[in-house]
Amino acid sequence: IRTILYLYHRIYMDYNATTPLEPEVIQAITKALHEAWGNPSSSYTAGVKAKAAIAQARENVARLVGGKPEDIIFTSGGTEANNLVFHSALEAYRESCRTAEQGGDSHHHRDNSRTSSAWPRPHLIISNVEHDSVRLTAEHLLKDAQADVTLVAVSKVTGRVEVEDVLTAVRPNTCLISIMMANNETGVMMPIRELCQRIRSVSGQRHHRILLHTDAAQAIGKVGVDARDLGVDYLTIVGHKFYAPRIGALYVNGPGSTTPLHPMMFGGGQERNFRPGYGWRPIPNAELVISNLPEYESHMLDTRKYLEERLQAVFGKERIHFNSHFPDSESLPNTCNVSILGPRLQGRKVLSSCRRLLASVGAACHTHRGDRPSHILLSCGIPEEVAANALRLSVGRGTSRADVDVVVEDLRNAVETLESLN
Ligand SMILES: Cc1ncc(COP(=O)(O)O)c(C=O)c1O
Ligand SMILES: O=C(O)CC[SeH]
């Protein structure tokens, strides 16, 4: 029975969409639910234990991203963290306008009106391959006439944002540049460190500070992430991408002092009033990544390379197009975006014909787009008929070469079935 079960259990290769909880994390959560259920503000044992669990988690997340515990603000997830960055950047811009209007006397009574019409609207710069929680936030602010927005197109040669293109987009009223650290569909990594260095080199003589944010959701747990080495002001952390609970956090370099941070909600003072309310707090899952990242990274890279070798061996190099291969770009170790060429092999059709493989054709939040090819791939210069056949295969810490063999055989059978249909 076990053999039959094994032969027919599914193989998950959609780790960029979300990850399962590590058993150790489930145990830690269960223990916390039994013992540290109190209100962290309460002085009795259950509350003291809850407060200690949060402090430990904060310390671990800070170590995970190269920050200090006081730099970590827990949120409900990456979407909230990204929205908090945009909200804070606009508030900071309005404050700098008000201060300038009052002759630079920041102690003058605050004029609570919005930025006077004398000042241009704040300007935001994002890439054209951002996650929807960045793209749609910027789109809303544009439609609501709260900000001007520039989408910097990724290079169709490298699949990544080029620093010069971002610099060219900078205006006197630019207040935020938000570029993701790694793309969730292609796995291509963006030149965040170089971008921050170049922007800071031109920021000195500006009236409006340019705040720098990277959404590191897809990078954490796969590659090393060091916010201070990158030089960002904000960095988004998403728990369910590295086997942690569905929570998020925002790294802020000195929240409310070095870097502006303005709450979107008001309440009981939690998170130093930057993000009040008792959401679920992560169990110190970050420790696993801190201790094991080199092994995780090398294992995922080995598995992905093996997957790519087997795909070419089974289908032939001429029938396989790797949509995540850009010669001059770094990419995540675990992501293989691949198209099996052929008029009947659209990605969704192939996946629905598979009996074992669980994967996606692109971002989970784009499933409403139906059979339209991914705009991310089209933005990277992938031809439409190739993008239509895309399969996003993202391996995890535990994906084995045996899993790869099963998946490639499953794909071979699916393609054979689809191509035999008249
Ligand atoms: C790149 C990226 N940013 C942000 C998010 C949103 O995070 P959350 O699902 O915690 O809101 C995700 C995943 O869903 C993501 O892949
Ligand atoms: O890329 C994914 O599937 C998660 C973000 Se929608």
Give the closest residue (by CA) to ligand 2 atom 4. 17
Task: Categorize the per-residue pLDDT at 283 as very low, low, confident or very high, splitting at 50, 70 and 90.
Answer: low
pLDDT tens column, 211-240: 999 999 999 999 999 999 999 999 999 999
Instruction: Report, as an integer, the average pLDDT of 310-326.
Output: 97
Q: What are the φ/ψ torsions at residue 77 (nearest 5 degrees)? A: 170, -175
pLDDT at 86 over 90: yes
Distance of CA 319 from the midpoint of ligand 2 (Å): 26
pLDDT band of residue 10 (cuts 50, 70, 90) is very high
User: What is the pLDDT at residue 108?
Assistant: 42
Mutate to test the pocket of ligand 2, among 332, 365, 391 (most ligand atoms within 8 A of CB): 365
- Measured in Å, residue 167 CA sits from the centre of ligand 1 at 26
Going from the Cα of 41 to the center of ligand 2, the distance in angstroms, rounded, reads 35
The two three-digit tokens of residue 24, written as one number: 């150790």
Collect contacts of 342-350 with beta carbons under 8 A, ≥24 apart. Answer: 342/389, 342/415, 342/419, 344/418, 344/419, 344/421, 345/389, 345/415, 345/418, 345/419, 346/371, 346/388, 346/389, 347/388, 347/389, 347/390, 347/391, 349/418, 350/389, 350/391, 350/411, 350/414, 350/415, 350/418
Give the pLDDT confidence score for residue 107 in this predicted structure: 46
The minimum-distance atom of ligand 2 relative to the CA of 360 is: 3
pLDDT at 207: 81
For position 274, what pLDDT does the model report? 95
User: Mean pLDDT, the chain, as a whole number?
Assistant: 92
ipTM over cut 0.95: yes
Please provide residue 291's backbone torsions phi and psi, each rounded to the nearest 5 degrees.
-80, -30
248 CB less than 6 Å from ligand 1?
yes
Q: Residue 265: its pLDDT value, please?
A: 95
pLDDT computed for residue 282 by the predictor: 57
Closest-lying ligand 1 atom to the alpha carbon of residue 180: 1
> Is 117 a residue whose pLDDT tops 70?
no
pTM over 0.90: yes
Ligand 1 atom at shortest distance from the alpha carbon of 16 = 16
Q: Is the CB of 90 under 6 A from ligand 2?
A: no
- Residue 196: is its pLDDT beyond 50? yes
Q: Using 50, 70 and 90 to split pLDDT, how confident is the model at 203?
A: confident
The rounded distance, in Å, linking the Cα atoms of 184 and 204 is 33
- Expressed in angstroms and rounded, the spacing between residue 422 Cα and the centre of ligand 2 is 34
The CA distance from 178 to 186, in Å, is: 18
Average pLDDT rounded to a whole number, residues 124-146: 98
Predicted local confidence at residue 104, as pLDDT: 60
- 354 belongs to the catalytic site: no
Ligand 1 center from residue 277 Cα (angstroms): 21
User: Residue 111: pLDDT above 50?
Assistant: no
**Does residue 218 have its Cβ closer than 6 Å to ligand 1?**
yes
The residue-averaged pLDDT of 1-28 equals 86
pLDDT at 284: 57
365 ligand 2 Cβ < 6 A = yes
Cβ-proximal residues to 23 (8 Å cutoff; 6+ apart), any chain = none
Q: pLDDT tens across 251-278, in order?
A: 999 999 999 999 999 998 889 999 998 7
Chain segment 360-419, per-residue pLDDT in tens = 999 999 877 778 999 999 999 999 999 999 999 999 999 999 999 999 999 999 999 999
Q: Is the pLDDT of residue 110 over 70?
A: no
Q: Residue 79 C-alpha to ligand 1 middle, in angstroms?
A: 6
Mean pLDDT of 238-246: 93
Q: For a pocket test of ligand 1, which of 76, 135, 192, 238 has the largest count of ligand atoms closer than 8 A to its C-beta?
A: 238
Q: State if residue 17 touches ligand 2 by the CB under 6 angstroms criterion.
A: yes
Ligand 1: which atom is nearest the Cα of residue 246?
10
pLDDT for residue 68: 98
Which ligand 1 atom is nearest residue 240's CA?
A: 10
- Of residues 160 and 111, the one with the higher pLDDT is 160
Rounded distance between C-alpha atoms, residue 104 and residue 96, angstroms:
9
18, 79, 179, best to mutate for ligand 1 pocket (most atoms within 8 Å of CB): 79
- 31-47: average pLDDT: 89
Q: Is any atom of ligand 1 closer than 6 Å to the C-beta of 77?
A: yes
